[in-house]
């Protein structure tokens, strides 16, 4: 499964005057072994090796393996590789702003608010001036306190990224961080406090992470990816709005009531909305047409027509797609 991680960066790139200053940002002068300045533990060594031919390697990061890199015409750096964790390996593509290149110091930006600073090692393994902290605080280097792990972490390195899925803010993202046995997770939301959720098992054997008797957030795995929902509405998904199809059904031979559907094809599910109520139905195999089901409803259809069945009282509603 391929996951595209495109980081929205709003900071304006200000290139410092140094040996690679101005607009002289090239594959050649950025090649080398770059070691990250770690604000929490100066003995930790991690970073990246960038080769002039476009190949890349990670330094000290077993779960985040860089494979290639490039520079865009807008002077951004794109890092491609594999994210390994939670029993899956996902391809990623990470885009960062180049804030400055001055001598052997490189400063990159994530999300428009996280700065990551590197120093370049020479052939003998010596690096340039390496301060213990950037900006004086762990947050200035991308660290966030995790209630689940009771430590400062980089959620974009330890977490699983899920993109905004409502279509309103395509660039917003949340991150899911699991504990060791996945019995709990912490979800880090943009512009909101993180929440710790516990794993529960449904009658069908599937798992969902939430807070008991609290319908604020539900996290579950769907077709190799993750979705975050609230009261039946999908807020975040691993693939965001990618490969989604929206349509509106109306009751056949009747006027008025409509059903708005969003088909998340990458996750094999549909979100139905009617009268302000949301429902998530998961796809199942049919001989022809399409079929989606939840504990409450079954949606079967072919072409522009469908039948919505209430599994509580077996009431059937014939629907037709609105042109």
**Got the DSSP string for 65-113?**
EEEEEEE-TTSEEEEEEEEEETTEEEEEEEEEEEEEEETTEEEEEETTT
What pLDDT shows up at residue 12?
A: 25
* Calpha distance 158→154 (Å, rounded): 6
pLDDT in tens, 69-124: 999 998 899 999 988 765 677 888 888 889 888 878 888 887 665 677 888 887 66
**What pLDDT, on a 0 to 100 scale, did the predictor assign at position 18?**
35
pLDDT of 132 above 60: no
Measured CA to CA in angstroms, residue 314 lies from 62, 301, 311, 317 at distances of 52, 16, 5, 10
Q: 42 vs 102, which has greater pLDDT?
A: 102
Q: Per-residue confidence at 4, pLDDT binned at 50, 70, 90? A: very low
Please state, for a pLDDT cut of 90, what percent of the chain lies above it: 43
Tell me the mean pLDDT in the region 1-22: 34
Confidence at residue 13, expressed as pLDDT on a 0 to 100 scale: 29
Averaged over 205-233, what is the pLDDT? 88
Does residue 154 register a pLDDT over 60? yes
Residue 185, pLDDT score: 95
Is 256 within 8 Å of 245 (Cβ atoms)? no
| Higher-pLDDT residue of 64, 5 | 64
Residue 289: name the closest of 323, 321, 312, 242 by CA: 321
| Percent of the chain residues topping a pLDDT of 70 | 78
Higher pLDDT, 227 or 3: 227
pLDDT of residue 135: 39
Q: pLDDT at position 19, please?
A: 36
Phi, psi of 265 (to 5 degrees): -65, -30
The mean per-residue pLDDT over the stretch 243-247 comes to: 92
So what's the pLDDT on residue 212? 77
Average pLDDT over residues 271-276: 92
Per-residue confidence (pLDDT) for residue 315, from 0 to 100: 92
**Cα 183 from chain centroid (whole Å):** 20
**Spatial distance between the Cα atoms of 247 and 323, rounded to a whole number of angstroms:** 9
- pLDDT class of 130 with cuts at 50, 70, 90: very low
Contact between 260 and 274 (Cβ < 8 Å): yes
Average pLDDT over residues 52-61: 90
Q: How far apart are CA 238 and CA 164, in angstroms?
A: 9
Is the predicted pLDDT of residue 236 greater than 70, yes or no? Answer: yes
Give the DSSP per-residue string, 139-193. Answer: GGGT-EEETTTTEEE-HHHHSEEEEE-SSS-TT-EEEEEE-TTSSEEEEE-TTS-
Average pLDDT, the chain: 80
Q: Which has the higher per-residue pLDDT, 145 or 261?
A: 261
User: pLDDT tens for residues 297-315?
Assistant: 999 999 999 999 999 999 9
For residue 293, give the nearest of 268, 259, 319 by alpha carbon: 268
User: How many beta carbons lie within 10 A of that of residue 315, not counting itself?
Assistant: 9
């Amino acid at each position: 499964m391929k996951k595209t991680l495109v980081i929205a960066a709003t900071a304006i790139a200000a290139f410092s005057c140094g040996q690679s200053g101005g607009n002289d940002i090239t594959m050649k002068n950025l090649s080398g072994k770059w070691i990250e300045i770690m604000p929490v533990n100066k003995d930790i060594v991690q970073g990246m090796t960038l080769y002039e031919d476009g190949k890349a390697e990670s330094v000290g990061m077993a779960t985040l393996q860089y494979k290639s890199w490039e520079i865009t015409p807008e002077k951004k750096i794109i890092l491609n590789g594999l994210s390994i964790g939670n029993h899956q390996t996902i391809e990623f593509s990470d885009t960062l702003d180049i804030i400055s290149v001055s001598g052997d110091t490189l400063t990159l930006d994530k999300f428009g608010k996280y700065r990551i600073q590197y120093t370049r090692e020479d052939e003998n393994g010596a690096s340039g001036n390496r301060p213990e902290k950037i900006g004086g605080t762990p947050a200035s280097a991308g660290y966030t306190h995790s209630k689940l792990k009771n430590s400062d972490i980089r959620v974009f390195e330890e977490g699983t990224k899920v993109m905004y899925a409502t279509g309103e803010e395509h660039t917003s993202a949340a991150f899911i961080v699991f504990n060791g046995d996945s019995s709990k997770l912490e979800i880090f939301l943009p512009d909101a406090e993180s929440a710790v959720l516990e794993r529960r098992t449904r009658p069908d054997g599937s798992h969902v992470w939430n807070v008991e008797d609290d319908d604020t957030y539900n996290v579950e795995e769907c077709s190799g990816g993750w979705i975050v929902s609230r009261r039946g509405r999908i807020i975040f998904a691993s693939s965001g709005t990618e490969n989604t199809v929206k349509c509106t059904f109306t009751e056949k031979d009747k006027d008025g009531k409509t059903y708005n559907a969003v088909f998340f094809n990458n996750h094999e599910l549909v979100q139905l909305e009617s009268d302000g109520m949301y429902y998530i139905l998961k796809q199942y195999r049919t001989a022809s047409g399409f079929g989606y089901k939840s504990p409450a409803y079954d949606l079967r259809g072919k072409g522009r027509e469908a039948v919505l069945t209430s599994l509580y009282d077996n009431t059937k509603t014939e629907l037709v797609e609105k042109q």
